[in-house]
Amino acid sequence: MTDTLHLTHLIDGERVDGARAGESHNPSDTNDIVALTPDGGDAEVNAAVAAARAAFPAWSEASPEVRADVLDKAGTLVMERREQLGRLLSREEGKTLPEGIGETVRAGRILKYFAGEALRLHGQNLPSVRPGVEVQTYRQAVGVYGLITPWNFPIAIPAWKAAPALAFGNTVVMKPAGLTPATAAALADILVEAGLPKGVFNLVIGRGGVGQALVDHKDVAGISFTGSQGVGMGVLQGAAGRQARVQLEMGGKNPLIVLDDADIERAVMVALDGSYFATGQRCTASSRLIVTDGIHDRFVAALADKVAALRVGNALDPNTQIGPAVSEAQMETSYKYIQIAREDGGRLVTGGDRPQLDTPGWYVQPTLIADTAPSMRINTEEVFGPVASTIRVKDYEEALHVANDTEFGLAAGIVTTSLKHARDFQRRARAGMTMVNLPTAGVDYHVPFGGTKSSSYGAREQGFAAFEFYTQTKTSYSWS
């Protein structure tokens, strides 16, 4: 597939063009231009927000069945086109084709889940403290949401932000990641095809200025952002400064503890998946492998064998297990941290070199670094690539201490056959999500997603928790 798409904004139901200022490239083959894009700015954001605002009264007052039907149909279309959309996603982002198709199916499932949630929105009915008075609470739509989405899940994250926003009666202006606009544009087309009224969902493609314009716009009631911590802090300040709702999902430095009593095959599989699959480009990826003394050497050796055997290559090649990094900058970040880790005294066990492949792409050899200390930069800063480091500890208590000793707190995992340690870990791990004998990455869509400390801010995303951010409570008193 080498055709180049010509993307447009979607504003008030119209495809709006602009100067072809941007491009997205195939990270597996940098000669392949996936899409040419317009570069939106204040004018496009203003028009999109005005359209979303105008569409809000009818959409929020429509029967929830109307909203459910659109989301359900969009979910069906996404699932029917899983091959085509998954291929576009893998071509543009670089995750392997099974990962791209898997993510597409997940997006379809999310749309369908929130179709049901549209009908389940509910409040409470309480007796008042005053005799004869009744109190009710309602959950109501808020208004226009600005959704700023990342490149690493180019269809699932747009779906998991847009679906609850729309299900509960809000309207949306989305800014997709600059590196992966084509996948988001395909989702926008499907929402239109599924019957979404004009103005309810708008897409403005562009650079950071589009996100900033959304954050600053007085008619945008809430911002949901997934991305880096640096950008997230700017979003928070901008949104808080004008009392907009804000929800941030940012980095992780997720620990995976492996205890002496672990099933070693399970431990290796869990670490391999969590650290390397999707090229390590998941905010839930395991990057600090914290291993107790008794199993340490066996675990490192067994994991190294598997890591060395991973086939790196073109995301669309069926033999590939690890696709490229999304961009040159992301690839260089991995190599930079590998070098820093070695300079700081880490031992390179496998990887570290640049794979030589036939097609020019942003490839990183999956890398394992052992004998690192918790305070080294490789263990405190997010790499976001197929790179993991091991830390040797004497027992569970030390492992837990090291796991929690981080500014982040998204996901945390443990591999153990001890019920006692598993239960203790679930209670004491300072992370929003804990995983026992499972990879830190890879989550369900019908339960809350989010972290603690610097990883997240605001209400949880996804599942039955999503209504908190995308609705507001009204308390109604009556006497009769």
Residue 5's DSSP bridge partners are 35
250 vs 450: CA distance, rounded Å: 9
Is residue 155 close enough to count as binding ligand UN1 by CB under 6 A?
A: no
133-141, 324-332, 342-350, 435-443 -> range binding ligand UN1 (CB under 6 A): 435-443
Of positions 68, 111, 141, 283, contacts ligand UN1 by CB under 6 A = 283
> At its nearest, how many Å lie between ligand UN1 and the CB of residue 151?
9
Selected binder of ligand UN1 within 64, 98, 355, 442 (CB under 6 A): 442
Q: Does residue number 282 form part of the binding site for ligand UN1 (CB under 6 A)?
A: yes
**Total residues at interface with ligand UN1 (CB under 6 A):** 11
Got the DSSP string for 36-52?
EEE---HHHHHHHHHHH
Candidates 60-68, 277-285, 298-306, 472-480; binding stretch for ligand UN1 (CB under 6 A)? 277-285
- Kindly tell me which residue out of 94, 143, 150, 169 binds ligand UN1, with binding defined by CB under 6 A: 150
Query: Cβ of residue 208: shortest distance to ligand UN1, in angstroms?
Result: 18
Helical (H) or strand (E) element with 193: helix 181-193
Q: Binding residue for ligand UN1 (CB under 6 A) from 270, 307, 441, 459? A: 441
The SS3 of residue 470 is helix
Stretch in the footprint of ligand UN1 (CB under 6 A) among 17-25, 38-46, 149-157, 362-370: 149-157
Closest CA to 196 of 62, 10, 61, 13: 13
Residue 390: Cβ within 10 Å count = 26
Give the whole-angstrom CA distance, residue 285 versus residue 278.
9
Closer to ligand UN1 by CB, 368 or 441: give it: 441
Q: Is 249 a catalytic residue?
A: yes
CB 431 within 8 Å of CB 451: yes
Task: Give every CB contact of residue 343 below 8 A, 6+ residues apart in sequence.
Answer: none
| Max CA pair span of the chain | 79
Whether residue 65 lies in the annotated active site: no
Question: Is 372 near ligand UN1 (CB under 6 A)?
Answer: no
Contacts 24+ apart (CB under 8 A), 98-104: 99/277, 99/278, 99/323, 100/315, 103/153, 103/154, 103/155, 103/156, 104/78, 104/79, 104/155
Cβ 219 to ligand UN1, closest distance in Å?
Answer: 27
Which residue in the set 56, 59, 151, 153 belongs to the binding site for ligand UN1 (CB under 6 A)? 153
Q: Which of 284, 286, 390, 455 binds ligand UN1 (CB under 6 A)?
A: 284
The DSSP line for 298-321 is HHHHHHHHHHHH--B--TTSTT-S
Q: Of the two residues 254 and 292, which places its CB atom closer to ligand UN1 in the complex?
A: 254
Catalytic residue among 44, 249, 382, 468: 249
Q: How far is the CB of 146 from ligand UN1 (least distance, A)?
A: 17
Residue matched to tokens 């796991």: 403
CA separation for the pair 92, 35 (Å, rounded): 9
Q: Using the rule CB under 6 A, is 330 a contact of ligand UN1?
A: no
Q: Using the rule CB under 6 A, is 209 a contact of ligand UN1?
A: no
Q: Which entry of 92, 283, 382, 468 is annotated as an active-site residue?
A: 283
**Strand segments (E) across 149-211:** 171-175, 201-203
Binders of ligand UN1 among residues 231 to 250 (CB under 6 A) are 249
Which residues does the annotation mark as catalytic? Answer: 249, 283
Contact residues for ligand UN1 (CB under 6 A)? Answer: 150, 152-153, 226, 249, 282-284, 441-443
